[in-house]
């Protein structure tokens, strides 16, 4: 059986609609993801975390001595 033009057009239309739905879904997923933090904010959080770890370590040592 040789497909006629109508069947080919319908298949192409369905494929195009599927691709459009996939593109829309990807666009929505991209919008839903949070934006990356600015570089300076990342450095600030890293420094603060390091400081808190150092303070916590000193407090644990001080408590162990007592």
| Tens-digit pLDDT profile for residues 6-65 | 888 999 999 999 999 999 999 998 888 777 667 888 889 999 999 999 999 988 888 877
Closest C-alpha among 45, 28, 29 to residue 37 = 45
Q: Residue 64: what pLDDT?
A: 77
Task: Calculate the dihedral angle through the C-alpha atoms of 13, 14, 18, 24, rounding to the nearest 10 degrees.
Answer: 40
Q: Residue 50: what pLDDT?
A: 93
Confidence of residue 66 (pLDDT cuts 50, 70, 90): low
33 DSSP 8-state letter: S
| Other Cβ atoms within 10 Å of 29 Cβ, number | 9
Closest C-alpha among 49, 45, 42 to residue 57 = 49
Rounded to whole angstroms, how far apart are CA atoms 50 and 44? 10
């Amino acid at each position: 059986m040789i497909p006629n033009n109508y069947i080919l057009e319908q298949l192409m239309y369905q494929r195009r609609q599927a691709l459009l739905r996939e593109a829309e879904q990807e666009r929505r997923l991209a919008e839903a993801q949070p934006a990356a933090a600015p570089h300076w904010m990342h450095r600030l959080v890293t420094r603060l975390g390091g400081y808190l770890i150092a303070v916590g370590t000193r407090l644990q040592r001080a408590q162990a001595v007592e």
